[in-house]
């Protein structure tokens, strides 16, 4: 039996659902001030999931993470003797300045800003929960992070580049003889933060192409990601080249995953009518083609 509002849900359950959802939407509106109801009609027409593609993306991410864990088992940390023999003169001129930095507080703060970019994904993606397939964007982000984390970890454990702080006399020996001291290339914090920032901004732009807030979302998310990258440099955790490669890789994955899921205009919900017919005016002949999008 349907209630007065025409819903098949019991009236009490419907009221409870509205009461739960209302504070969430109010929070989003207070931050972004965006008119969500006007955009509701387009929410279900932006991305499309395909079983084969999702299996490939998720599988690739899981394989990369699994491979990283296996390679990690064979990593041997530095000994105190090896650290004494490390020669900073072998570092290229572009990266050499990083060895002057060591800051545990900057490292801790970079974890906070990293979480901020991840939180921004949830904030900008909040309106997409109104669509029927609410799990589409969360699944896409899971694929993005699995690929980003898995690949960067695998590369770290295969290249075994020494972190900048290992060359710094102010850094304690206990930090230098750990496995983490050999995981410099490339920056995971930069990859994850830029991947999250680009993902959030891209998804927001796809769902709300007419929004005046797009530049704000892009600028804010990239500024937060850049802050994370700079803090990793100040902490002595990464060379500039580690950060640039991490930022580039994360950005590429953060853009590519939404791009691969974009629904084509002629699929589901849109049809194309094509009319083709010959014409002649007695002097010239030709073909008349009319394309109508519904």
**53 C-beta neighbours (distance < 10 Å), count:** 13
- The answer to whether 108 and 234 are in contact (CB under 8 A) is no
Q: Which residue has the tokens 């002057």?
A: 100
Averaged pLDDT, 237-250: 98
Predicted TM-score of the model (pTM)? 0.78
Q: Is the pLDDT confidence value at 4 over 70?
A: no
- The answer to whether 242 and 161 are in contact (CB under 8 A) is yes
Total count of residues recorded for the chain: 294
Please state, for a pLDDT cut of 90, what percent of the chain lies above it.
66
pLDDT digits (tens, 9 = 90+) for 99-114: 999 999 999 999 999 9
Per-residue burial over 13-37, b = 16 or more CB atoms within 10 Å of its CB, e = otherwise: eeeeeeeeeeeeeeebeeebeeeee
Q: Which residue has the tokens 């797009």?
A: 214
Dihedral sign (CA 95, 96, 101, 107) = positive
Q: What's the count of helices (H) and strands (E) in the chain, helices before strands?
A: 9, 2
Radius of gyration of the chain (CA): 26
Comparing 7-11, 78-82, 103-107, which segment has the lowest mean pLDDT?
A: 7-11
**193 C-beta neighbours (distance < 10 Å), count:** 35
pLDDT digits (tens, 9 = 90+) for 10-64: 444 444 444 444 554 444 444 454 444 444 445 667 899 999 999 999 999 999 9
């Amino acid at each position: 039996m349907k209630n007065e509002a025409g819903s098949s849900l019991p009236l009490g359950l419907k009221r409870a659902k509205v009461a739960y959802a209302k504070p969430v939407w109010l929070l989003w509106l207070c931050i972004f001030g965006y008119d969500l109801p006007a955009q509701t009609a387009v929410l279900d027409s932006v991305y499309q999931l395909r079983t084969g593609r999702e299996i490939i993306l998720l599988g690739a991410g899981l394989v990369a993470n699994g491979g990283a864990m296996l390679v990690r088992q064979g990593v041997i940390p530095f000994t105190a003797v090896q650290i004494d023999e490390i020669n900073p003169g072998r570092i290229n001129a572009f990266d050499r300045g990083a060895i002057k930095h060591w800051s545990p507080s900057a490292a801790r703060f970079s974890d906070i800003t990293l979480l901020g970019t991840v939180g921004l994904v949830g904030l900008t993606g909040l309106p997409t929960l109104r669509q029927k397939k609410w799990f589409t964007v969360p699944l896409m982000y899971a694929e993005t992070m699995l690929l980003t984390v898995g690949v960067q970890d695998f590369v770290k454990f295969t290249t075994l580049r020494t972190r900048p702080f290992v060359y710094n006399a102010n850094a304690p020996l206990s930090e230098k003889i750990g496995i983490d001291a050999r995981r410099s290339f490339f920056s995971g914090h930069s990859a994850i933060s830029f991947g999250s920032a680009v993902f959030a901004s891209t998804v927001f732009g796809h769902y709300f192409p007419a929004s005046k807030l797009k530049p704000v979302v892009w600028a804010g998310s990239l500024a937060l990601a850049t802050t994370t990258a700079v803090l990793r440099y100040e902490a002595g955790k990464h060379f500039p080249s580690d950060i640039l490669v991490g930022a580039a890789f994360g950005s590429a994955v953060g853009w590519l995953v939404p791009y691969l899921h974009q629904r084509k205009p002629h699929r589901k919900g849109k049809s194309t009518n094509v009319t083709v017919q010959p014409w002649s005016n007695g002097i010239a002949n030709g073909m008349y083609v009319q394309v109508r999008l519904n």
